[in-house]
Amino acid sequence: MLDDRPRFPNLRHRFDSLACMRGELLLFRQVSFELAAGELVWLKGPNGVGKSSLLRQLAGLLPIEDGRITWDSPQTGGDKSLFHYLGHTNALDEDLSVEDSLSFWQRLYRAKPGDMARAIESLKLSAFLATPCRYLSSGQRRRTALARLLLCPRPVWLLDEPLVGLDTASIAWVSALIAEQVAQNGSVILISHQEAPSLGTQARVLTLHPSGVSADVSAQNRTQNSEAAA
């Protein structure tokens, strides 16, 4: 359900001729695409092609061997405040409870109390708020980590396997949050090997190859057909 937060500004980000090395191995080169406001890009490709490495490059966690990353930022030098990055690891302190973890992030991001309540409700965390993170199931850990996205609204989400470990109901909740981010004029780049039918019809699918990226025309046709039927 959409809240009353203001919509994100109309931003367009450019990624030009990116290349990535792993040791002496060239994972990919000549990767170019744009990310517009209100867009979901689903990044696909075979294992080992470098999808996670590309996302880490965009987040500034890996160097680029070649190319240019241009974030369309309304603030000078404010690139880091443009996006949230969620990687494979959940980055949870095992000794903290879920509530203490959320409180830490709330202080870190200077989140509003309403954002805290929204995160707890949206990801159904209330039943285990007092539980230390070390005792959480894999799905509960992932949902707790995902709460960071809601504690500090940012225009871009970079999500690496956000659905891993989640059951069917949790996948539906997270899919709804991603759809809401896009509806608020935000942007999402998603890597996921799990199916999320509600997102598949919204996404622009890009397939990563060692020599660049290609658009999944069949996925675009499915989206167009779905929109025409609506």
pLDDT digits (tens, 9 = 90+) for 2-45: 455 668 999 999 999 999 998 889 999 999 999 999 999 999 99
Q: In this predicted structure, what is the pLDDT of residue 32?
A: 96
User: CA gyration radius for the chain?
Assistant: 18
Is 213 exposed, middle or buried (CB count within 10 Å of its CB: 0-12, 13-18, 19+)? buried
> Would you give the DSSP letter of residue 133?
G
Q: Rounded CA gap, 103 and 109, in Å?
A: 10
Q: Which residues contact 198 (CB under 8 A, 6 or more apart)?
A: 172, 175, 176, 179
- Mean pLDDT value of segment 206-212: 93
Q: Rounded CA gap, 156 and 151, in Å?
A: 14
Question: Using one digit for the tens of pLDDT, what is the confidence trace for 174-201?
Answer: 999 999 999 999 999 999 998 887 887 8
User: What is the band of 108 on the pLDDT scale with cuts at 50, 70, 90?
Assistant: very high
